[in-house]
Structure 1
Amino acid sequence: MTAEVVADSGVNVSELPARGWRAARALAPVGLGALLGAAFEPLAVPYVIPVCIAGLALTLRDITAWRAARRATVFGIAFMLTTLAWLWPSIGMGAWLALSLVQGLWFLPLGCGLVLVRRLRAWPVWSAALWSAVEVLRGEWPFGGFPWSRLGMAVVDTPWAQLLPLVGIGGTSLLLALLGFLLAAVLESATLRVPSRRWAVVLAAVFALTVLPAVLAELVDRSRTVTVAIIQGGVPGDGKDLVAHHRQVTRSQQVATQLLASRVRAGEEPAPDLVIWPENSTAVDPFGDPEARNAIEASVEAIGRPILVGAMVDDADPRRVLNQGIVWDPATGPGERYTKRHPVPFGEYIPFRSVLGRISPRLAEIPRDMIAGGPQPPVEVAGTSVAMAICFDVAFDDVLPEQVREGADLVVVQTSNAMFTGTAQRAQQFGISRARALETGRSVVVASTNGISGAIGPDGSVVTQSRTRGTEVLVADVPLASGETVAVRMGPMVSGGSLLVALGAVLVGVRRCRAR
């Protein structure tokens, strides 16, 4: 387009660069949100986190709260669409879009809040508290929350992993967000040609904090070990119709356990102290179904050790069911149990079933609602106190740290990732399990129907890991631990503190705006 044509069209040539910059600023949140998703599996490049946070902060400078809310929401939706892309091939495009939208909408109040605190002194601190508060809130509501894709869950293979025993997943998210907002403050000062020495010094100090070894976290004793066997029986086909083939799944667990028993008798494998079966090892109640019970008891008799069995157990109300991990002892039979604390809404129970059931016929595919278990103590297995989580439980802060505070010296995660076969969900969940190992200072044993199963050391290192989605038997010696990391002791204070600080900063920001 020539200058004459531009002039004839009424467009001021001098305004074109400014308009291009404004357009780029408006579109940047989409790219930044998608790039932040690259911090998680399958790409797993967590070093983009501070860059993306800084970029978001710069795109929100000198605009109204409403425009900031829109840009932050676009950022959040792009972020969630990227990290939750595994929902599309596993459950469907509708579920992927709906969950990404609901989670992305939490970034709307974040955008408003970031503008309100922007003119306050130490605004990067208040901004980081806002980010942390939004992570906490979206992990609580609606329908119990969905605490996936928190920044602290992505750092296990970085120097930042050393923060997890000190401040936990929530505190690590807070410090990474602070690092990003401080980077924005330094870049902003440079572009405005104002002294940036103060922010540069603070940025350097926070960066140094995030890479220092967590010396204070070494408050646990790891002098004992336990031998665990993990039975990954595999699932038929693509795994999306596990319930229809539940007998085959249980038989696969039984056959793999009996094969392990024969190898132990032959001296090819050490005798395990306990055996872990995954979630949904039996999709029918073993207390009411003779075939399922016989398979479990035959396996326990063959191996001669306690088995932690993942089972669906009928409630007294036929419209409800429990998802449990059951200690099945060769001498005393079924004993202590753990009940899944955070069932998945619309996947394991239907909120407002009487209303929503009329809207979508697909909800009839979930005929019974799963009952949530409340706070529970660790279970005792072969003299070992075990903190348990079932599938998505591992993402919630109120499950494993609470049991560790009650004396658990080993963590077991039972999961059924059958419907997520071939997606990044399995790797993301295994990454969260590694983060929990670092946070709690405990070894974590993961048993999945189709992978990723494995044993994780208290330092987050992978001791052993399944390589296929088929049948695998893993035997490993893992350290037991006693004592508590700083993160386990102080974890609840990080969440509550970020909420209070964020609320206070927003109220001060509102007051300043009204005063102007």
Structure 2
Amino acid sequence: MTRTERLAPAASGRERAPATALGVRDRWLHGWQRLVAGLAAGVLLAGSMPPRSAWYLAPAGAALLTGALLGLRWRHRLVLGAVAGLGFFAPTLSWLTGFHPAGFAAVLVLEVALFAAAMLLVDPGRERWWTVPAALVALEAVRARFPFGGFPLPGLALGQLDGPFAAAAPLGGSLLVVGLTTGAGAAVTGLVVAHRRIRTLVLVAALAAVSAAGVALAQPSGGPAGQLLTAVAQGGGPRGIPAVEADEQEVTERLFDVSEDLPADLDLVLWPESSIGVTGPVAETREADRMAALARRTGATVVAGVTESGETSFRNAAVAWAPDGRLVDRYEKAHRVPFGEYIPARGLFEQLSNMTALVPRDAVPGRGPGLLETPAGPLGVVISYEVFFSDRARAAVRAGGQVLLVPTNAASYTTEEVPATEVAAARMRARELDRAVLQAAPTGYTAIVLPDGSIAEQGALGTPELLTATVPLRTGLTPYARTGDLPVLLTVTSALIAGLAFRLLHRRNRAAVA
């Protein structure tokens, strides 16, 4: 056999293009086109995030990402995932640069790496487009738990509150919302590129029908248990001041000033996180006496965020005073903010960074579900950062919370990115759990959210606000409140395993034919 014969393609195979400079250049350009598509997909996903409300950009981003991933080997999927992750996380985490530029870089690298790793779960075959939304759901599930107990900012579901997919929240929580949102976009790409379009169309129609039926049947058990006339206070003041530099007494006085206008026929008054700063337990302080007087004057249960400082640590609590002025219950924040309320491996970081100057003492972690037993009823509580974690809100509701309180403090941030994201998280918890959510922040955003996720009242940033509304008390549990993320995680795991099995079977069949 001559050299020419040895290089000739087999008769049964597709004729190969010669490896000329032009052919190499064409493949190089095609690779760059995919990278650009991956970057654009990440930017589209970022464009759907709060404070924007362009929910439709997320399905478009998922469709573009799916098309870019099809046919790629694992190394190329890893690179493409990193590019898409950069397009998503660089703009949505940019607020971190105001705190610690090196910290922003570290978080960005970690989040981009997680996004890239998730793309390794994707099956590049045209018929298995559904592994893309499954991988994105897996990514969100990991980010809600890793590192340091999770860092779910931003969350893909939080851009969907004004879109149709949020209707699935009572059934499967934010992970199901992510699955349906990205699945819709991936399905469009699947229909366009699939060889067997009829089979793909049947699969898409079946998934849509099952999802619609599940959403329609996702009704909470139980029913209304009355209503509360509530007031939520925001003292206002300057923004962009780190917590260690804030004047605690000024914050307290602004809130008392705003509360002078409270009517005398309220059921519940909510003040923000860190409304009151004291040394040692709050019970015997002058501030506690003033809060008791406020409760007696309004005839309401008053809940305020209290910071109790010690020599080497502090406690972040929500404390409730009854209408007669008695201190009746308290909840201490269980899910602390890493590098915000405590420093993991503090001894190591004290040698590597000046970040510890922003967090001179660690918060003492609380225990148990966030529940306050009060004359206004059992009140669920998630303090600030905890609103981003559905397990904390679920624990409060399953313990008996008939309304959900979110005392928070976003005064350290100069932009509206984080305050708007917190409101979105409060709205998502409301939809997941069928509970009204009251969120109070010293400088905003303060908001009253109804059980359907709609906003009844919302204040501005930096201004004094006093929001009032009548909200329902609820006792029933949604399917998601009962089951949590487990059904969605099992479904996603099964989908990814099925994708892997199809891939292995396809390889074996090709080997048998060869």
- Same-fold call, TM > 0.5? yes
Change (3 A) 1:212 1:162: farther
- How does 1:54-93 map onto structure 2 within 5 Å? 54-89=63-98, 91-93=99-101
- How does 1:55-134 map onto structure 2 within 5 Å? 55-89=64-98, 91-114=99-122, 117-119=123-125, 123-134=128-139
1:447-483: per-residue Cα shift (whole Å, max 9, x none)? 1111111211111111111134221111110111111
Which amino acid in structure 2 is aligned with residue 157 of structure 1? D
Change (3 A) 1:213 1:331: same
Change (3 A) 1:509 1:337: farther
Partner of 1:6: none
User: Quick one: distance in 1 between partners of 2:280 and 2:234?
Assistant: 19
1:137-175: per-residue Cα shift (whole Å, max 9, x none)? 121111111122332222111122211112211111122
Change (3 A) 1:477 1:464: same
Residues 222-231 or 389-398, more deviating: 222-231
Change (3 A) 1:486 1:62: same
User: Quick one: distance in 1 between partners of 2:343 and 2:31?
Assistant: 44
Q: CA RMSD in A?
A: 2.7
Partner of 2:13: none
Match for 1:236 among 228, 238, 241? Answer: 238
Equivalent residues of 2:318, 2:330 under 8 A apart: yes
Does the alignment pair 1:26 with 2:27? no
User: Quick one: distance in 2 between partners of 1:150 and 1:236?
Assistant: 28
User: Quick one: distance in 1 between partners of 2:158 and 2:254?
Assistant: 32
- How does 1:301-312 map onto structure 2 within 5 Å? 301-312=296-307
Which amino acid in structure 1 is aligned with residue 333 of structure 2? K
Match for 1:319 among 312, 322, 341? Answer: 312
Equivalent residue of 1:480, what SS? strand
How much has 1:358 moved relative to structure 2? Answer: 1.0
Change (3 A) 1:229 1:286: farther
Which amino acid in structure 1 is aligned with residue 234 of structure 2? Q
Residues 494-503 or 62-71, more deviating: 494-503
How much has 1:242 moved relative to structure 2? Answer: 6.5
Equivalent residue of 2:151, what SS? coil
Equivalent residues of 1:390, 1:415 under 8 A apart: yes
Residues 166-175 or 499-508, more deviating: 499-508
TM-score normalised by L of structure 1: 0.87
Partner of 2:7: none
Partner of 1:247: 249
Does the alignment pair 1:444 with 2:444? no
User: Quick one: distance in 2 between partners of 1:332 and 1:292?
Assistant: 12
Identity of aligned residues (%): 26
Which amino acid in structure 2 is aligned with residue 100 of structure 1? L
User: Quick one: distance in 2 between partners of 1:127 and 1:505?
Assistant: 13
For structure 1, the 5+ residue unaligned runs are: 1-9, 266-270
User: Quick one: distance in 2 between partners of 1:314 and 1:418?
Assistant: 19
How much has 1:101 moved relative to structure 2? Answer: 2.0
Equivalent residues of 2:410, 2:441 under 8 A apart: yes
For structure 2, the 5+ residue unaligned runs are: 1-18
User: Quick one: distance in 1 between partners of 2:137 and 2:205?
Assistant: 21
Match for 2:326 among 327, 333, 338? Answer: 333
Match for 1:280 among 274, 277, 301? Answer: 274
Equivalent residues of 1:133, 1:502 under 8 A apart: no
Change (3 A) 1:361 1:424: closer
User: Quick one: distance in 2 between partners of 1:386 and 1:209?
Assistant: 35
User: Quick one: distance in 2 between partners of 1:490 and 1:87?
Assistant: 34
TM-score normalised by L of structure 2: 0.87
Partner of 2:288: 293
Change (3 A) 1:391 1:513: farther
Partner of 2:11: none
